[in-house]
Structure 1
Amino acid sequence: MSTRKISPISLKNLTQSNKEVNQLTRESIETALLFLLERKEMKHISVSELVRKAGVSRNAFYRNYKSKEEILELYYERTSQSVKEKWNALQKKVQQDGVQQSFSDFLHHQMEKTDYNKAISNVSQWIKEKTKRG
């Protein structure tokens, strides 16, 4: 039986395809969790329910995350980083244009852009519970 070789281009394409599939899987899981958080608290959401809603396998879930809490931790980190980058860009604009805006005004503006919903409430509750324990 002969050994089959994969060309460097095919290997590169396969690697890219795998990255894209993993990203879609993570997005599906994250979206499903946020959807479920609109209906119930985190402690009442099972991994089975989450993967069923996301349309992925339990193996796919555990290949990407250690727990459902990790999803929120990563989402929180990403969101925090995004707000920080927006704040820094705003500060640069303030320095250049002389526009005045306080941090609380900035946060209020960001909150106005986001519809308050049950998912945000449940995430806030989860953060409070986590910080009480930790």
Structure 2
Amino acid sequence: MKKRTISPKSLKNLAQSNKEINQLTRESIETALLFLLEKKDMRQISISELVKKAGVSRNAFYRNYKSKEEILELAYARTSQNLMDKWHQLQKKVHEDGIQQSFSDFIQQQKDKVEDTKTFSNISQWIKDKTNQLNQR
């Protein structure tokens, strides 16, 4: 029987696919935990309930996390790091562009985000309409 070999490209594609699957698994577990925490205390949530809600196996859970608490610890660390990164970016921008320009840019970015989100856009339009109605009285 002829020995089969896997090409380096196939190995690279497989590694990328596994990485993406693991990321989806982690996101599913994190989302499921947050959903369950809206209804229950952490102590009341079992691993079985969590993996069922996430749509993953117990093995998938334990491949990615040691405990439910680790999920929150990692999410906290990631969020803290993101906030620190944004804080450093803001400090750098203020240093380079000045506070007035930095603040103006920030306001514009927030306005753009609102306009890009249909829900916020609808709420914004409703507020404008209500304000116009009140001003016409």
1:1-134 paired onto structure 2 within 5 Å: 1-99=1-99
* Cα distance in structure 1, aligned partners of 2:2 and 2:68: 45
> What's the RMSD between the two structures over aligned residues?
1.3
* Letter of the 1:25 counterpart: T
- Structure-2 residue corresponding to 1:109: none
* Cα distance in structure 2, aligned partners of 1:15 and 1:97: 42
Shift of 1:56: 0.1
Secondary structure at 2:9's aligned position in 1? Answer: helix
* Letter of the 1:99 counterpart: I
Shift of 1:58: 0.1
Secondary structure at 1:66's aligned position in 2? Answer: coil
- Structure-1 residue corresponding to 2:126: none
* Cα distance in structure 2, aligned partners of 1:7 and 1:17: 15
* Letter of the 1:92 counterpart: K
Q: How many residues align?
A: 100
* Cα distance in structure 2, aligned partners of 1:10 and 1:97: 47
* Cα distance in structure 2, aligned partners of 1:72 and 1:22: 17
* Cα distance in structure 2, aligned partners of 1:92 and 1:69: 35
What 5-or-longer segments of structure 1 have no aligned partner? 101-134
Secondary structure at 2:2's aligned position in 1? Answer: coil
Q: 1:8-66 deviations in whole A, cap 9, x for unaligned?
A: 11111111101110010001001101111111111111100100000000000000101
* Cα distance in structure 2, aligned partners of 1:94 and 1:10: 47
* Cα distance in structure 2, aligned partners of 1:9 and 1:90: 41
Identity of aligned pairs, percent? 77
What 5-or-longer segments of structure 2 have no aligned partner? 101-137
Secondary structure at 1:2's aligned position in 2? Answer: coil
Higher relative contact order (CA 8 A, sep 6+): 1
Shift of 1:94: 2.2
Runs of 4+ more than 4 Å apart: none
Structure number with the higher helix fraction is 2
TM-score of the two chains, using structure 2 as the length reference: 0.69
Shift of 1:2: 3.0
